[in-house]
Amino acid sequence: MKDELREIEIFKNLKDETIESLCEICNVREIKKGEQLFYDKYKVNTIFILLSGKAVLYKISEKAQKKIIFILGKGSILNDVILDDLPASINCEVFEDAEVLCFQKDSFIRVMEKDFSLTKEVVNSLAKKVRRLYRQLKNSTPIKVEKRVAAKLWKLAKDYGINKESGTEINLKISITYLADMFGTQRETISRALKVLQDKELIVIKNKKFVVKDLDDLAKFFKK
């Protein structure tokens, strides 16, 4: 378990004794794609950190429509906000088969109290999410939907991209419906936006995956 924890970014630079303490309070769960890890407004007493796979954090609108906030990968803390001792403020669903590190919250906090480096990593995790939310708020202003979609695909390509001959392939199986969930909008609206990006030869859809032909060109499109 020590070696597995050391592979996680937030644990890499912690003291050996801290890693040992975390090993004592940790267990690993295997979660299948589509399974729910926790629900909005439910009391959660476990800190979840992805050891492998991916998960999504999402909200449900008043019209019962899913709005995806984040797609998170290996090493991500999925519910750092519960450290304030309030119920969960978001839903979490596994996007692809995953292994999840589970820490009883109070025990995890006691380890944080003994090693400020761990506390700092948790604070940094929260700070990154806040910064991403700020960017999302900026992108939710009344601009053309194709620019919003371009910005989202650019970000996904930066986070999960694989270099291919045809461009940067987003290594996630995201359907048009799922992409619509990221914006909390209709599938048809996203389809039209994708058609614009394809017509401008900024993206292609290949084997059910999005490929950004040139990241710089895509960035220029949504920034102008």
**Full DSSP string of 96-112:** EEEEEEEEEHHHHHHHH
Same domain, 89 and 153: no
pLDDT for position 142:
55
Same domain, 153 and 112: no
pLDDT for position 141:
55
The verdict on residue 129 lying in a domain is: no
Residue with tokens 């006691």: 110
The verdict on residue 118 lying in a domain is: yes
Same domain, 53 and 20: yes
Same domain, 46 and 109: yes
What is the enclosing helix (H) or strand (E) of 1?
Answer: none
Same domain, 9 and 52: yes
State whether residue 59 is helix, strand or coil: strand
Which of 6-15, 82-91, 188-197 is the least confident region?
A: 82-91
User: What is the reported pTM?
Assistant: 0.76
Same domain, 120 and 151: no
Domain boundary (61, 92, 124) is at 124
What is the enclosing helix (H) or strand (E) of 223?
Answer: helix 215-223
Same domain, 159 and 112: no
Same domain, 19 and 97: yes
The verdict on residue 136 lying in a domain is: no
Each residue's pLDDT tens digit, 109-122: 999 999 999 999 99
pLDDT for position 185:
85
Q: Which domain holds residue 105?
A: 2-124
The verdict on residue 135 lying in a domain is: no
How far is it, in rounded angstroms, from Cα 169 to Cα 121?
30
| φ, ψ dihedrals at 67, nearest 5° | -125, 110
- The gap between the terminal CA atoms of the chain, to the nearest Å, is 48
Closest CA to 56 of 202, 181, 215: 181
Mean pLDDT, rounded, for 35-58: 95
Does the pLDDT value for residue 69 go beyond 70? Answer: yes
CATH of the domain at 25: 2.60.120.10
pLDDT for position 138:
67
Does the pLDDT value for residue 25 go beyond 70? Answer: yes
CATH of the domain at 197: 1.10.10.10
Same domain, 21 and 108: yes
How far is it, in rounded angstroms, from Cα 110 to Cα 132?
28
The verdict on residue 175 lying in a domain is: yes
Count of H helices and E strands in the chain? 8, 9
The verdict on residue 173 lying in a domain is: yes
Name 164's bridge partners.
Answer: 167
The verdict on residue 133 lying in a domain is: no
- pLDDT grade for 133, boundaries at 50, 70 and 90: confident
18-27: b (≥16 Cβ within 10 Å) or e: bbebbeeebe
Same domain, 34 and 69: yes
The verdict on residue 217 lying in a domain is: yes
Does the pLDDT value for residue 46 go beyond 70? Answer: yes
pLDDT for position 140:
59
How far is it, in rounded angstroms, from Cα 2 to Cα 20?
7
Coarse DSSP helix, strand, coil percentages of the chain, rounded to the nearest 5 percent:
45, 30, 25
The number of distinct structural domains making up the chain is 2
Same domain, 109 and 208: no
Q: Are 208 and 172 within 8 A, CB to CB?
A: no
Q: What would the two tokens of residue 82 be?
A: 């519960």
Q: What would the two tokens of residue 208 be?
A: 């059910």
Same domain, 180 and 218: yes
- pLDDT grade for 224, boundaries at 50, 70 and 90: confident
How far is it, in rounded angstroms, from Cα 123 to Cα 112?
11
pLDDT for position 61:
79
